[in-house]
Amino acid sequence: EVQLVESGGDLVQPGGSLSLSCTASGFAPSNLWMSWVRQAPGKGLEWVAHVSPDGSKKYYVDSMKGRFTISRDSAKNSVFLQMNSLRAEDTALYYCVAWGAGTYWGQGSLVTVSS
């Protein structure tokens, strides 16, 4: 079964840091672009970051540039999102997404930024 499983979501104070992980099973995403997309509670979908299959190209939405870092480890079928200087408006469910012939989404990892 094709699966993407995110982990690492937590409650963190404003200004804090958090690292999310996403591990694929049932397929090898090494040839696929991988992304993080987030959804604030009751809101729509928002791109966060995007990484090429070889990890050499990375794209970020402006509001997250300099604060978030996407990376991947193809040997571990994993993608990561390091989030620093977190703000209340970063509170959201963070989805890991693999873009191939099909598009695979994880179930999401909840990040709550609050004091």
Partner 1 sequence: DVVMTQSPLSLPVTLGQSASISCRSSQSLVHSDGDTHLYWFQQRPGQSPRRLFYKVSIRDSGVPDRFSGSGSGTDFTLKISRVEAEDVGVYYCMQATHWPHTFGPGTKLEIK
Our finding on whether 68 is near partner 1 (CB under 8 A) is no
Query: Are 51 and 70 contacting, i.e. CB atoms less than 8 angstroms apart?
Result: yes
Binding residues with partner 1: total (CB under 8 A): 16
- Residue 30 to residues 16, 34, 38, 60, 77, Cα–Cα distance (Å): 31, 9, 22, 20, 7
Our finding on whether 47 is near partner 1 (CB under 8 A) is yes
For partner 1, which residue of 44, 56, 75, 115 counts as binding (CB under 8 A)? 44
What type of residue sits at position 61?
A: V
If the CB atoms of residues 60 and 80 are measured against partner 1, the closer one turns out to be: 60
Stretch that binds partner 1, among 8-16, 21-29, 75-83, 97-105 (CB under 8 A): 97-105
Q: How many CB atoms lie under 10 A from the CB of residue 71?
A: 15
